[in-house]
Amino acid sequence: MTQMESARAGKITEEMEIAARKEGVSAEYIRAGVAEGTIVIPKNKNRRRSNICAIGKGLSVKVNALIGTSNDRAQRDMEASKLRIAEEAGCDSFMDLSTGGDIDEMRRQTLRLANVAVGCVPLYQAGVNAIKKDGGVVNMKPDDLFDIIEQQAADGMDFMAIHSALSMDIIETLRRTGRVTEIVSRGGSFMTAWMLHNQRENPLYEQFDRLLDIMRRHDVTLSIGDAVRPGCTADSLDAIQLKGLILAGELAKRALDAGVQVMIEGPGHVPLNHIESTLLLQKRLCHDVPYFILGFLSTDIAPGYDNITAAIGGAWAGLHGADFICYLTPAEHLGLPNEEDVRTGVISAKIAANAADVSRKRNGAWERALEMSKARAALDVNRQIELAMYPDRLSAAGHDGGKCEVCGEKCACQIAAEYFGAA
């Protein structure tokens, strides 16, 4: 039985138990959420691992890291190193976006090394194969694409981003209305090129039931890819994004009806004043299934520092209901990230997630912040090191009897403690 079938049959699985313990909620809460579709547990039935997490309503915000090769850089050992660094920094999942070198072997390496959920975008491999074998993405055969989805599911992929929420109707609307950055989703651009060249409907939309059947058989969580997400703040909440969202909502409902765990991939570039409305519409139109956001990038003009622009938007999206944040590294808009970029990306996204969790009092985040504050008032640096998300810099700073060099002898906390007593 799949996680959802078990949940709907009233059965609590081992994975629900593990996820519930990790989250500090009851297993029954997780089961009910999986049954109704407001919570997902990405966990392919063909792969074993010990670190399981649940994503969705009432839970802490989770963080995804991206790894993968490209044509220009296909070094599996570097990707293995990035994977270790990201998992140590606390990411809750990976997506392997490889498009270069031996993609099959790369995927299997990721599945072997990672002890967290792993996702992928099958359309990338299908597109790359079509470029190599058939002379271009536009010559890709739908059956080949479905074969790759089946293969990746059989290999143990826990979730897959699939660009089903893209139709001829949406592309025609885009042609009429235009936007600043037409399509920035790579999968979305592959499929758009294929559809326009062949003048045929998107097979991932047209044959959605065939897709759901593969997902259900291997218990893969479907992540409906955001093929027409805005590629800049100026395109945010435009007609194209909303049409994509409406279609994603329809497909999410069909997935839920078919007993397939489903989440929706979100933007992208979102100005601060659009975040609340974006999340409201996403949840409203997509039946409250979990939302997996790419950012949100809060400004367009800081390439090289998009871990920060995305931490700003990600935290606020988390407050307003985003369940799952895809990291952005400082290399976003520049090139592929190196190891240090990956670590910075995970840390930035985890801080954003924690800021949302503190304000919503999820999974002990409020209590941990409170303990840290008490440790600061008490000048107890050892306890602060225990409680810090990333204690490396605090440990390295060197403190004299609890006092840091900011105030030195003129420590505000110490002066206050003398007059008010310990907090």
Write out the binding residues for a second copy, residues 295-354 only, by CB under 8 A: 298-305, 307-309, 311-313, 315-316, 319, 330-331, 333-336, 347-348, 351-352, 354
Nearer to a second copy, 7 or 328 (CB): 328
Q: With respect to a second copy, which residue has the nearer C-beta, 24 or 391?
A: 391
* Lookup result for tokens 């008032």: 377
Among 360, 380, 383, 402, binds a second copy (CB under 8 A): 360
Burial code of 130-165, b = ≥16 C-beta within 10 A, e = fewer?
A: bbeeeeebbebebebbbebbbebbebbbbbbbbbbb
Q: What are phi and psi of 385, to 5 degrees?
A: -65, -40
From the CB of 394, what's the least distance to a second copy, in Å?
5
User: What contacts 206, CB < 8 A, 6 or more positions away?
Assistant: none
CB of 74 to a second copy, least distance (A): 11
Minimum CB distance to a second copy, residue 190 (Å): 7
Q: Please give the helix or strand (H or E) that residue 209 lies within, else none.
A: helix 208-218
User: Is residue 201 near a second copy by the rule CB under 8 A?
Assistant: no
Q: Which one among 174, 215, 240, 346 touches a second copy, defined by CB under 8 A?
A: 174
Q: How far apart are the first and last CA of the chain?
A: 53
Minimum Å gap between C-beta 286 and a second copy is 23
CB of 399 to a second copy, least distance (A): 8
Contacts to a second copy from residues 50-79, by CB under 8 A: 70-73
Q: Which stretch binds a second copy (CB under 8 A): 143-151, 189-197, 206-214, 282-290?
A: 189-197
Extract the runs of DSSP E, i.e. beta strands, from 41-135: 55-56, 62-67, 93-96, 117-120
Contact 119, 95 (CB under 8 A): yes
Instruction: Using the minimum distance from each CB to a second copy, give the nearer residue, 42 or 318.
Output: 318
Q: How far apart are CA 417 and CA 40, in angstroms?
A: 47
Q: Does 184 bind a second copy (CB under 8 A)?
A: yes
Q: Which is nearer to a second copy, 50 or 422 (CB)?
A: 422
Helical pair 27-36 and 14-23, crossing angle rounded to 10 deg:
110
**Does the protein bind a second copy through residue 196 (CB under 8 A)?**
yes
CA 60/CA 343 separation, integer angstroms: 20
Backbone angles phi, psi at 292, to 5 degrees: -115, 105
Q: Which is nearer to a second copy, 17 or 276 (CB)?
A: 276
The answer to whether residue 178 forms part of the interface with a second copy (CB under 8 A) is: yes
